[in-house]
Amino acid sequence: MTNENEGARAPEQNSIPTTKVERSAKFVKTGIKIGGNYIKHYSKKLFNPGLDKSELNEDNAADIYQSLSELKGSALKVAQMLSMDKNLLPQAYVNKFTQSQYNAPPLSGPLIVQTFKKYFGKNPEQIYDKFNIRSTNAASIGQVHQAELNGKKLAVKIQYPGVGDSISSDLKLVKPFAFRMLGMSERELDVYMKEVEERLLEETDYELEVRRSVEFSEACANLDNVVFPQYYPELSSKRIITMDWLEGKHLKEFLATNPSQELRNQIGQALWDFYNFQQHELRAVHADPHPGNFMITPDGKLGAIDFGCIKVMPDDFYYPFFSLTSTNLLDNKEETIKAFRQLEMIHQGDTPAQVEFYYTQYKEMISLFALPYITDTFDFSQTAFFDQLYGFGERISKMPEFKQARGVKHFIYVNRTNFGLYNILHELKAEVKTDTYKPHVVLEY
């Protein structure tokens, strides 16, 4: 983990609202600001009827991001997730929320010492030989500090106070903002929020994260060009994780060095293998593929540094979904519809006309998603593929038929994982061999 650009460093935060009342007051204040932005927008529109919403989106995105970044936790995490889905939000929100992947305002030294005292009964200086009180990275749920012990360089991840305890109440407070930004139906939003809540509760349990990190790094140890830090359970607790410090660059910094195509392909292949090995051999996957969770090491390897968010895929989701993406099952209309019913993409009460409509739309969507799987290699630099993908997403997001919830809850994180992976590979402009870890499939239901 390298130091983030100090020049772009956000100012330190000396306190964090932890009670429901404090956090709710922050949301109310933000809601009032957003109301003011709308009044300003419509006042200007009186004099300039052709005015679009760009400035309104910029103002709202800045106000919402500032509020969420001070609150930290699940509210900011939702912003981070939304920033990765370029179909869901206006560009102004995507640009602003992307900051939460790397550069949220860090907590000040006294709050860090307080966390150590609470969980270890000691200051960090009593635990490590050296401890840098200034964080090197601050994200949505915690921040990272550099430390040293017995000559070893360590990364210490510290969770923000109150984050784990405020998930449910925060998500209720985020709901009105999500309604406004996403335009989802209430039922769909409830399914989304419930699944997000389950994953976030796991993500704030650092003891679980350490166990999973050890388990996954051992399971993935044989993958080419993928490396993991060593974890230290004895120096970790429910809100603190100690691991080896991995030297390297985040994706943005790495790309700024103008790496060769060969190196881009090597990192891209490592990413593809890392994700597809987990999906198809472990049936559980690192479901947080934003660039801040990976480092590119000086010797050109991919360092995976965060296993907080893991999505387990049950058989009744895995087989129908990946059989559709990886075989010619889509050519068999009857079996495809059976699979769509199992995945709740087509509902029991749908009319024949609705069945036909959803069959056509979902077949197109899965055919697009599956393009990398149906050839031995795939060039992720091609913009045509992503234009088609985003174009399709944009088109269905405007269809009234998709305002109601469709599909089992597992899609939320599996789609996020795979589209996140595709986006990173696109940024890398990598060409990868896609036949390395193939899905296990069935052809009949």
pLDDT per position as a tens digit, 369-390: 899 988 899 999 999 999 898 8
As beta bridge partners, residue 433 has 377
The answer on pLDDT for 146 being more than 90 is: yes
The answer on pLDDT for 93 being more than 80 is: no
Q: What is the pLDDT of residue 288?
A: 83
CB atoms within 10 A of CB 237: 19
Distance CA 361, CA 2 (A): 44
Q: Which residue has the higher pLDDT, 190 or 178?
A: 190
Residues 6+ apart with CB under 8 A from 196: 74, 77, 78, 81, 171, 412
Residues 6+ apart with CB under 8 A from 410: 311, 313, 314, 317
The encoded tokens of residue 322 equal 């990946």
The encoded tokens of residue 413 equal 């994180």
Q: What is the pLDDT of residue 143?
A: 86
| Max Cα-Cα span within the chain | 70
User: How confident is the model over 255-268, as pLDDT tens digits?
Assistant: 999 999 999 999 99
Residues 6+ apart with CB under 8 A from 232: 154, 242, 243
The encoded tokens of residue 128 equal 């490590």
Burial 256-286 (b: 16+ CB within 10 A, else e): eeebeeeebbbbbbbbbbbbbbbbbebebbb
Task: Spell out the domain ranges in the chain.
Answer: 6-101+166-191, 248-445
Q: What is the pLDDT of residue 137?
A: 77
pLDDT-derived band at 4, boundaries 50, 70, 90: very low
| Cβ proximity of 292 and 250 under 8 Å | yes
Calculate the average pLDDT of the chain: 80
Distance CA 407, CA 396 (A): 14
| Cβ proximity of 240 and 254 under 8 Å | no
Distance CA 269, CA 115 (A): 39
Distance CA 255, CA 249 (A): 9
Distance CA 342, CA 231 (A): 40
CB atoms within 10 A of CB 100: 26
The answer on pLDDT for 141 being more than 70 is: yes
Nearest to 415 by CA among 360, 346, 365, 348: 365
Look up the pTM and report it.
Answer: 0.76
Distance CA 97, CA 68 (A): 10
Distance CA 245, CA 78 (A): 27
pLDDT-derived band at 88, boundaries 50, 70, 90: very low
- Mean pLDDT across 42-68: 60
H-type alpha helices, 183-314: 186-203, 206-219, 251-256, 261-277
For residue 13, give the DSSP letter. Answer: B
Phi-psi region of 269 (alpha: psi -120 to 50; beta: other; left: phi over 0): alpha
Nearest to 146 by CA among 236, 243, 235: 243
Give the DSSP letter string of 68-96: HHHH-HHHHHHHHHHHH-TTTS-HHHHHH
User: How confident is the model over 95-134, as pLDDT tens digits?
Assistant: 544 544 445 556 678 888 988 999 999 999 999 999 999 8
Helix %, strand %, coil % for the chain, to 5? 60, 10, 30
Residue/partner pairs of 254-260 with CB below 8 Å, 24 or more apart: 254/296, 255/427, 255/428
CB atoms within 10 A of CB 205: 17
pLDDT-derived band at 6, boundaries 50, 70, 90: very low
